[in-house]
């Protein structure tokens, strides 16, 4: 199939759609119209039933390796049509994948390096080209919608399938009853209740979306550059707020030859806290960022820990939080706002040991207290210090 029109990226999308559609059997077309839930999906199911799309709900754990496994099943078919991986809430429980700093953090980095944001967007688009949040250009009937057509729930299923497809639905989310859906739809086409023209119309929409998304050119996740980019984003989003008591004797960068470094705190070794709640298997409502706390206090008694340590030894406070928090500046010699850095925390060490300059600036003023008086902030909008003098 290498020399076919539909496999040629230089051909117009419409020509590729027409060529591929002309080669497809009824089974292959109906499979493209079927979206199953990833908990029941296997490469074998995708291959044997020619499944066109797999859905992941936001409460399910997924990974790029898992999606690649599904894709391999689809590519074993004679036409090699890749699947669309659809997520209703985005890929939020992404086990083993690269998590970038949160959007507001990237914005802080973008104030310094706009090109970084462009490179991140391009790399992410390539890495997850098969992942589509609500497939653009495809009319989808949502989760178990066919079961809700009639009362009692799930009754008159064949009639529900007929109504949905004849009303213009292109793809149906059938998380569990996918075999029954395929059998009923095949019967409806063979009996003439659903026309072949309607099936071709639906499949055209699906194929057009897949070609437009570049799935045939980017079949597997390309994660080679994501870790490096995420690490760069971390160090360029860090905001150095204080750097020692004496400006002539900065605390940072740290000496690499120092014999002992105490790393402590609730967020010091917890990836869920560093990434944000929507990436954890169980969503965490409050990550120490005080998002639900009008007083903007550091939670988990973090302020007490800071006082205890800072009174005894020179202390660098790295604040892992979604937004500015109320601090006691007199107790802190050196303070870095790391925000929610994601999985590539080495970007923090890159800065504090002097390999790179901290790059971020405050997107908004840092309040002295919970009253958030913008006219008298602790640190003003756009504030930053440099760790290298």
pLDDT tens for 33-79 read: 999 988 888 889 999 999 999 987 655 556 677 888 888 889 899 99
> Residue ranges of the domains in the chain?
5-100+124-212, 238-352
Tell me which of 112-126, 156-170, 253-267 is least confident: 112-126
Please answer whether residues 359 and 235 qualify as being in contact, where contact means their C-beta atoms are separated by less than 8 angstroms.
Answer: yes
Fold of 5-100+124-212: TIM Barrel (3.20.20)
Pairing verdict, β 93-94 and 316-319: unpaired
3-class DSSP state for residue 198? helix
* Per-residue model confidence (pLDDT) at position 366: 86
* Per-residue model confidence (pLDDT) at position 128: 55
What tokens does 280 get?
A: 């954890």
Instruction: Enter the pTM of the model.
Output: 0.56
Superfamily of domain 238-352 in CATH is Glycoside hydrolase family 3 C-terminal domain (3.40.50.1700)
* Per-residue model confidence (pLDDT) at position 256: 87
pLDDT tens for 78-94 read: 999 999 887 654 444 55
* Per-residue model confidence (pLDDT) at position 296: 45
Cα 282 → chain centroid: 16
């Amino acid at each position: 199939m290498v020399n076919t029109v539909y496999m040629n990226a230089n051909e117009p999308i419409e020509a590729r759609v027409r060529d591929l559609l002309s080669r497809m059997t009824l089974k292959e077309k109906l499979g493209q119209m079927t979206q199953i839930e990833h908990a029941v999906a296997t490469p074998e199911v995708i291959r044997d039933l020619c499944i066109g799309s797999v859905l992941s709900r936001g409460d399910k754990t997924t990974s790029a390796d898992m999606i690649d496994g599904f894709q391999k099943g689809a590519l074993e078919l004679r036409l090699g049509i890749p699947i669309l991986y659809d997520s209703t809430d985005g890929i939020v429980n992404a086990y083993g994948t690269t998590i970038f700093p949160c959007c507001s953090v990237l914005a802080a980095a973008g104030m310094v390096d706009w090109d970084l944001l462009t490179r991140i967007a391009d790399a992410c688009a390539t890495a997850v080209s098969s992942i589509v949040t609500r497939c653009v250009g495809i009319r989808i009937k949502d989760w178990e919608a066919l079961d809700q057509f009639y009362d009692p729930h799930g009754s008159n299923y064949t009639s529900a399938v007929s109504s949905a497809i004849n009303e213009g639905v292109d793809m149906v989310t059938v998380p569990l009853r996918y075999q029954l859906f395929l059998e009923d739809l095949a019967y409806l086409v063979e009996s003439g209740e659903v026309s072949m023209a309607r099936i071709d119309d639906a499949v055209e929409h699906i194929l057009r979306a897949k070609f437009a998304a570049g799935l045939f050119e980017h079949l597997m996740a390309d994660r080679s550059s994501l870790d490096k980019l995420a690490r760069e984003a971390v160090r360029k989003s860090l905001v150095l707020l204080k750097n020692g008591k004496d400006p002539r004797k900065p605390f940072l960068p740290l000496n690499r030859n120092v014999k002992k470094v105490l790393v402590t705190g609730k967020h010091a070794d917890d990836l869920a806290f560093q990434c944000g709640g929507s990436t954890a298997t169980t969503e965490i409502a409050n990550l120490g960022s005080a998002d639900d706390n009008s007083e903007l206090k550091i939670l988990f008694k973090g302020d007490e820990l800071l006082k205890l340590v800072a009174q005894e030894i020179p202390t660098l406070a790295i604040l892992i939080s979604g937004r500015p928090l109320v601090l006691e500046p007199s107790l802190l010699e050196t303070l870095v706002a790391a925000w929610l850095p994601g999985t590539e925390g080495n970007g923090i060490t890159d800065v504090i040991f002097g390999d790179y300059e901290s790059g971020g600036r405050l997107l908004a003023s840092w309040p002295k207290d919970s009253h958030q008086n913008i006219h008298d902030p602790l640190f003003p909008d756009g504030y930053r210090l440099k760790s290298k003098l």
